[in-house]
Amino acid sequence: MRKLFLLIFALHFILLVNAQSYEQDSAWVRDNYTKREVMIPMRDGVKLFTSIYIPKDTSEKHPILISRTPYSCSPYGENNFNTSLWMRHTRYYARENYIIVTQDVRGRWASEGTFVDVRPFNPNKKTAQDIDEASDSYDTIDWLIKNIENNNGNVGVVGGSYPGFYATMAAMSGHPALKAACPQAPVTDWFIGDDFHHNGAFFLMDAFAFYTGGFGYPRPVPYKVAPRRAIHIPTNDNYESYLRIGALQNFRKLTGDSLQFWKDLYAHPNYDEWWQARNIRNFVNNIPSSVATLVVGGTNDAEDCFGAWRTYQAIEKKAKNDNRIVMGPWWHGQWITSDGTHLGNVQFGSNTSIWYQNTIEIPFFNYYLKGKGNRPRIAEATVFFTGANEWKHCEVWPPADKKDQPIYLQPGGKLGWEKPAAKSSFSEYISDPAHPVPYTEDVHFTRTRDYMTDDQRFASRRTDVITFETAVLNDDLTLAGTVVADLLTSISTTDADFVVKLIDVFPDDFKYAGANTNQSRDAGGPYPMGGYQMLVRGEIMRGRYRKSFTTPEAFKPNKIEQVKFELPDVAHTFKKGHRLMIQIQSSWFPLADRNPQKFVNIYECSDSDFQKATIRIHHDGTNSSAIILPVLK
């Protein structure tokens, strides 16, 4: 009881100190900043609502930091200050006297014009009517430089998630005043890897919640208070609710015709020109050498992990600028919070977000926009390796001494570096869309962020999940780069999905160092970490796209075929005494929609089209299924 009392007292004290600190910072910001709200004209005459926080200090000229967003630059009103100026890491910029700008993008909230989701980049602008998000960024920067007094002529852009897409677009604007851009978990390719699709599989839960929660509804006129138009699904159990609704056409009936992008999703089931025009990687060659880019993301980001890795790689390949990447162990946006110590049950051993903010992000912008200090000593790739719980500073990514090495699925659920020798061998399971494999064992209303490191023991116990495991590791095994699943499979039907999960199996007696109990800070009680099966990386592949994302192809029943696909990059050390596990299954519900396991248009099929499939994963001398691991030597 005494320990409990001391813990409660300590927590109360911390909260009290934080509250007092925020109150002091709030007073300081209000005393030292003036807020202006303006409508900035674009080249085609459309005006965009812009909120500008201007330092009262006139002893020096100040840089401009812009974030463009579809989520509102509220609170509106020049006397209403955004609390993020003192309650989040934005306070560091306020202390440095940045001119802090937030803008409602075209067609959203208080801005004029028509909104287009992930509006394609237009490389051939010829008239004032030829606009895109890059031109809107250019016009915004140009107006600010010419109309905000006491600016130093240097501009930076920053944004996370959807605003990360706009930050990448701004980097392509070509305005000479733009010196630095920081796309954070940027939306990059909504068909291949971000948010709404992974390798062609529709991420139903996120898409449905996002667009029916208010984002996707039409906005005939600018507004500052959004209408409430959320669609309420039947129960608080998302697994049960989505299962009851059924086929995707039933979700379309729920939404009606008012959600334009939802209709677009259904109208473009394959990776056609419409999707490819929205893949920003195709256009990053337009980033000039004068703009430094710092791409930031989280290896445990449930939404845009793919986007951070692949945006960085595309810029590195196609542009000629100073381009760096930082990947921490974070959930979506955790890098700008005050607590980067853990995710769910998994501890990181330090406050990774505070370290990043003070060591990387603020010095990056201070150097390029204020000329403050020496050039930041930021490595090409600053990456946190879970398992080892340490930052690595790499000269290239993946590291030069990384070697791709196949680890083979073996008979009897074993996993090993030697190719199997059996003449004929396979593991088999029945995938039943009526009883799909859940993505987590708990009951939730919305998708969790913790599932990215969740214990997978619940899945290991299912008969429709097959498991392969190494012996206990005699040495540390570090992976750094892209994981590739190379499956040789035969199915009894004409289509199926394949989910591959890379898992770190903890020793049975595992405890975090210095912990009296295996305590999950989020769960509110002890969690048995001994034998924990930590999800390191999971990914899904829609089988019909095994040869081409643009041209789907049916399977021939019972014919052995290759299904080879990438999992987003990993940075993880499997410690000595742990085991490496691979799980394979054919549903991940309701994270991803259910494949009817029949070669039909999934967006138009009926509940009656769903059928069971027998899935075989082959592991013999001729058909040797493997997971290609990026082993760091």
Sign of CA dihedral 503, 504, 510, 514: negative
pLDDT at 598 over 80: yes
- In whole angstroms, give the CA distance from residue 65 to residue 94: 11
Options 1.10.8.870, 3.40.50.150, 3.30.2130.10, 1.10.3020.10; CATH of 197-275: 1.10.3020.10
Q: What is the mean pLDDT of the chain?
A: 93
Spell 393-426 as b/e; 16+ CB within 10 A means b: ebeebbbeebeeeebbbbeeeebeeeebeeeebb
Write down the pLDDT at residue 445.
87
* CA dihedral sign of residues 273, 276, 277, 282: negative
The answer, yes or no, to whether residue 3 has pLDDT greater than 70, is no
By the 10 Å C-beta count (0-12 exposed, 13-18 middle, 19+ buried), 542 is classed as buried
pLDDT of residue 525: 53
pLDDT tier at 10, thresholds 50, 70, 90? very low
Q: By percentage, how much of the chain surpasses pLDDT 70?
A: 94
pLDDT, tens only, 427-457: 999 999 999 999 999 999 889 999 999 999 9
Residue whose structure tokens are 């003449």 = 423
Per-residue pLDDT tens for 92-122?
999 999 999 999 999 999 999 999 999 999 9
pLDDT at 234: 66
Rounded CA separation 398/569 (Å): 9
Q: Do you find a cis peptide bond into 590, omega within 30 degrees of 0? A: yes
User: 362-412: per-residue pLDDT in tens?
Assistant: 999 999 999 987 776 789 999 999 999 999 999 999 999 999 999 999 999
> Can you point out the beta strands (E) in 395-492?
402-410, 414-416, 426-431, 466-469, 477-491
Question: b or e along 134-148 (b: 16 or more beta carbons within 10 Å of the residue's beta carbon)?
Answer: bbbbbbbbbbbbeeb
Question: Residue 133 carries which side chain, given as an amino acid letter?
Answer: E
Residues 6+ away with beta carbon under 8 Å from 87: 22, 25
**CATH fold match for the domains 197-275 and 402-632:** no
Helix (H, G, I), strand (E, B) or coil at 444: coil
From residue 148, how far is each of 84, 90, 161 by CA, in Å?
A: 22, 20, 28
Q: Is the pLDDT of residue 13 over 50?
A: no
Percent of the chain topping pLDDT 90:
86
Task: Show Cβ contacts of residue 119 under 8 Å, excluding neighbours closer than 6 positions.
Answer: 106, 132, 133
pLDDT tens track for 150-205: 999 999 999 999 999 999 999 999 999 999 999 999 999 999 999 999 999 999 99
Between 258 and 32, whose confidence is greater? 32
Q: Could you state, in order of their start, the residue ranges of all structural domains in the chain?
A: 29-189+284-394, 197-275, 402-632
Rg (CA), the chain: 25
How far apart CA 595 and CA 431 sit, in angstroms, is: 10
- Cβ atoms of 270 and 192 closer than 8 Å: no
DSSP codes joined into one string, 323-346: EEEEEES--TTGGGSS--SEETTE
What's the CA angle centered on 84, arms 82 and 90, to 5 degrees?
120
pLDDT (tens digit per residue) in 301-346: 999 999 999 999 999 999 999 999 999 999 999 999 999 999 999 9
Helices (H), 417-533: 457-460
- For residue 512, the model assigns a pLDDT of 82
Structure tokens at 493: 């039907």
Is residue 15 predicted with pLDDT exceeding 50?
no
- The pLDDT score that the predictor gives to residue 378 is 87
pLDDT tens digit sequence for 262-304: 999 999 999 999 999 999 999 999 999 999 999 999 999 999 9
Question: How many other CB atoms are found less than 10 A from the CB of residue 63?
Answer: 26
Number of residues that make up the chain: 633
Please state which of the four CATH numbers 3.90.1150.10, 2.60.120.260, 3.30.420.10, 3.40.50.2300 is assigned to the domain occupying 402-632: 2.60.120.260
H-helix or E-strand containing 114? none
**Contact call for residues 488 and 625 (beta carbons, < 8 A):** yes
CATH pick for 29-189+284-394 out of 3.40.50.300, 2.60.120.10, 3.40.50.2300, 3.40.50.1820: 3.40.50.1820
SS3 395: coil
